[in-house]
A and B are shown apart, each in its own frame.
Chain A
Amino acid sequence: MSVSLNVMYFAWLRERIGVSSEAVETTAATVSELIDELAAREERYAVAFQDLSVIKVAVDQVMVDFSTPLKGANEVAFFPPMTGG
């Protein structure tokens, strides 16, 4: 079953992919599967998601692991490690 997600990108991920957010129709069951799906779409996604050690993810605004299920999720955000303060 496919779900519609609002996928957001911040900092250099936003710059590399070229949009700050987009609606994504996906059958991905987990964050990992969503990343694979996006990376397979176009070169700019593949480049952005090349090194997952420098990418964090939040599902519905809570930081999670890549193995987190997407069931019931509305918003998925990808971003580099935070540098506040």
Chain B
Amino acid sequence: MTVRVQSEDFDMGAELKLLSQGRDDIGAVVSFSGLVRDDTGDLLALELEHYPGMTQAALADLETKAFARWDLSACLIIHRYGKLETGAQIMMVATASAHRRDAFEAAQYLMDFLKTDAPFWKKEHLKSGTRWVAQATSDTDAKKRW
């Protein structure tokens, strides 16, 4: 189980390779990455603020819960903070398991909870000014299936 909270970018390919390197018990790796998206053509950058003391622990807690629920061999969450440009990687989640089902479900579970339970806040820097992103109802609903 690994959690990294950082301002620097990451190399997803290299991270995925490392995750299963030297392991012969892993048969499936599922990964997700979140990118800075511009819906309106108005976005200059996305700024991510977090709660340094709490973020690492909150993400590690999610991993612990995923491990308790699914048969996972490895798990990685990387989440960036700071000012990110359109198209930049914000975060990634990777889960590894003997079989795909556990890896798929655990990755979705981690993402659903990460959206609303990890102390990150997004602020949009638009051509017309700045705006804090509100939590989406669809994100709070997504957790309910677990």
Residues of A within 8 A of B (CB): 8, 10-12, 58, 61, 63, 75, 77, 79-85
Contacts and interface: CB of A to CB of B under 8 A. Distances in A.
Contacts of A80: 121, 132, 134-135
A52 B121 CA distance: 17
Contacts of B116: 81-82, 84
Contact of A83 (B54, B57, B134): B134
29 contacts: A10-B49, A10-B119, A11-B49, A11-B123, A11-B132, A58-B51, A58-B119, A61-B54, A75-B53, A77-B54, A79-B51, A79-B119, A80-B135, A82-B115, A82-B116, A82-B120, A83-B121, A83-B122, A83-B136, A84-B48, A84-B50, A84-B79, A84-B114, A85-B90, A85-B114, A85-B115, A85-B118, A85-B120, A85-B139
Contacts, number: 68
Given A10-B119, A82-B116, A85-B115, A61 B51 contact: yes
A12 B130 CA distance: 11
Interface of B: 34, 48-51, 53-54, 57, 79, 90-91, 111, 114-123, 132-136, 139
Interface of B: prevailing SS: mixed
A38 B8 CA distance: 37
A81 B54 CA distance: 15
Contacts of B118: 82, 84-85
Nearest to B53: A61
A48 B49 CA distance: 18
Given A10-B51, A58-B51, A61-B51, A84 B132 contact: no
Nearest to B112: A85
Which of A58, A61, A80 gathers most chain B CB within 10 Å?
Answer: A61
Nearest to B119: A82
Contact of A77 (B51, B135, B139): B51
